Amino acid sequence: MKAIEAINLGKRFRLRHSGLPTLKDRFIDTVKRRRGSEDFWALRNINFAVETGETVGVIGPNGSGKSTLLSIIASTMAPTTGRVITRGRLASLLELGAGFHPDLTGRENIFLNGAIMGIPRKMIEERFESIVDFSGLGHFIETPIKFYSSGMVVRLGFSIAIEVDPDILLVDEVLAVGDQDFQKKSSRRIQWMKETGKTLLVVSHDMGTIKRFCDRVIHLQKGEICEEGVPAGVVDNYIQSAVKLPPGLGKIAGWGTMEAVIRKVEFPGAAGNETPTFTTGRDLVVEIEYLASKRIENPVFGYAIHTPDFQLCVGSNTQIDGCRVDRIEGEGVIKLSLPALPLLGGHYLLSLSIHSQDHNTNYHRQDYTYPFDVFSPAGREGIVNTPSRWEFLPDGG
């Protein structure tokens, strides 16, 4: 049976140039026969179905319509064309704790949130203990949630959503909820739901999760489905399509506010024609040419290296490494070196970013954008090159 069915789904947004319309605006627009708004199709011609018990991932660059799709399936938004049919109780982890009231206690908010989700009060009463249990809030449940930390609020929201035993679960990057223990607990619970035949629709930027977790993947590009199929194939093609855009040549790969962009990246000292190739134990140097269209105080440059199956090998930034960048404005170059590269031979993906100190603003992020190869002369296997020494002591020392 189909748990989720999207038929010819489309969503059009009217982008207004200045906030909400007033009567005057409407009047002037009508008189002047102009439209004070522009149409933007966030989704178009979306057709797909998710079978009961299936786990389907949705991937795509930012602004490709992933969140809009989830909002329509969760019916917080109405589609402009087509429709969505869902079968069974649906819970969404998109909007954890929607409608929580700060003055009410955790207990009262559980009931309010349940009411907002349309869950019968009796069912909430039955599940109350396990909700509190899973959230790990203990006696804080009788405290108004305005005294909670943000992590506690999210934990409570997650616990309600997951404890009401939904048939369909919509997941949007939630595996990053709460502290590490809670993250482990919640991803175990989601795994368990998958195993017990629940239907899951997962949106994530973490290709590793998508590959491990999903039975099928839908790749959205500019509001349309551009590929659908087994995770490995679709994810690889997605990465390829993201890499293909030549950086610095008009179009710039990646996403962010673009107030500062990574314009050009060079690998001096690298061998190889198409893919830069480095050698284990030698220096890896990356020269990043940036362009800041405005003055940015205390930006942070970061990098990460992943394996092709999205295992993070290393990630760091100027803040962690103690390189002071007081401000950037206009063009400039920043140089990243990994002395005596401790990676073993293989294929890797380099991600680069410029973001604010608090990580809240991403000026430019290029995820998995720069593939490179590492050549290992020695016969060691794996990812990490660590010197290993053996001592043969046949007589037991």
Partner 1 sequence: MNGILEIAKWKDLIRNLVLKNLRIRYKGSALGFLWTMLNPMFMMFIYFIFITLLRIEIDLPSLLVGILAWQYFVMCLSDSVSAITAHPSLIKRTSFPRIVFPLSMVLANLINFLFSLIVLALFLAVYSLLFSYTIQLGPAVLLLPAVILLQTALVMGFACFFACCNVYFKDIEHIMSILLLAWFFLTPIMYRLEMVRDRAGQFFNLYLLNPMVPVVTLYRFVFLGIPPPLSPVFLISCLSSFLILAGGVAIFLKYEMNFADVI
Stretch that binds partner 1, among 115-123, 143-151, 222-230, 370-378 (CB under 8 A): 115-123
Inter-residue contact 290 to 332 (CB < 8 Å): yes
87 or 216: CB nearest partner 1? 87
Stretch that binds partner 1, among 28-36, 92-100, 132-140, 291-299 (CB under 8 A): 92-100
Beta-bridge partners for 333? 289
Which 28-87 residues touch partner 1, going by CB under 8 A?
Answer: 71, 74-78
| Gap between the Cα atoms of 236 and 80, Å rounded | 32
118 or 396: CB nearest partner 1? 118
Under rule CB under 8 A, residue 311 binds partner 1: no
Under rule CB under 8 A, residue 226 binds partner 1: no
Taking the complex as a whole, the smallest distance from the CB of residue 102 to partner 1 amounts, in Å, to 12
3 state SS of 270: coil
Q: Which of 103, 195, 326, 381 binds partner 1 (CB under 8 A)?
A: 103
| Gap between the Cα atoms of 234 and 240, Å rounded | 10
Taking the complex as a whole, the smallest distance from the CB of residue 190 to partner 1 amounts, in Å, to 21
Inter-residue contact 158 to 98 (CB < 8 Å): no
Q: Which amino acid would we find at residue 56? A: V
| Gap between the Cα atoms of 220 and 43, Å rounded | 9
51 or 173: CB nearest partner 1? 173
Taking the complex as a whole, the smallest distance from the CB of residue 101 to partner 1 amounts, in Å, to 7
25 or 206: CB nearest partner 1? 25
Taking the complex as a whole, the smallest distance from the CB of residue 307 to partner 1 amounts, in Å, to 37
Q: Which of 3, 50, 117, 305 binds partner 1 (CB under 8 A)?
A: 117
Which 9-28 residues touch partner 1, going by CB under 8 A?
Answer: 13-14, 20-24, 26
Taking the complex as a whole, the smallest distance from the CB of residue 98 to partner 1 amounts, in Å, to 4
- Strand order of the β-sheet with 362-375 is 277-279, 362-375, 346-355, 300-306, 312-317
Under rule CB under 8 A, residue 115 binds partner 1: yes
Inter-residue contact 374 to 341 (CB < 8 Å): yes
Within a 10 A sphere around the Cβ of 373, how many other Cβ atoms? Answer: 17
103 or 358: CB nearest partner 1? 103
Contacts of 338 (CB under 8 A, 6+ apart): 283, 284, 285
Six-digit token pair at 324? 């002071």
Within a 10 A sphere around the Cβ of 274, how many other Cβ atoms? Answer: 7
E runs forming strands in 17-117: 37-51, 55-59, 81-86, 90-92
DSSP state, 249? Answer: B
Under rule CB under 8 A, residue 138 binds partner 1: no
Burial bucket for residue 203 (CB in 10 Å: 0-12, 13-18, 19+): buried
Q: Which of 28, 47, 83, 99 binds partner 1 (CB under 8 A)?
A: 99
Q: Which of these, 314, 303, 300, 301, lies nearest to 358 by C-alpha position?
A: 300
Q: Which of 43, 46, 56, 94 binds partner 1 (CB under 8 A)?
A: 94
Taking the complex as a whole, the smallest distance from the CB of residue 140 to partner 1 amounts, in Å, to 21
Taking the complex as a whole, the smallest distance from the CB of residue 186 to partner 1 amounts, in Å, to 20
Residues that bind partner 1 (CB under 8 A): 13-14, 20-24, 26, 71, 74-78, 94-95, 98-99, 101, 103, 111-112, 114-118, 120-121
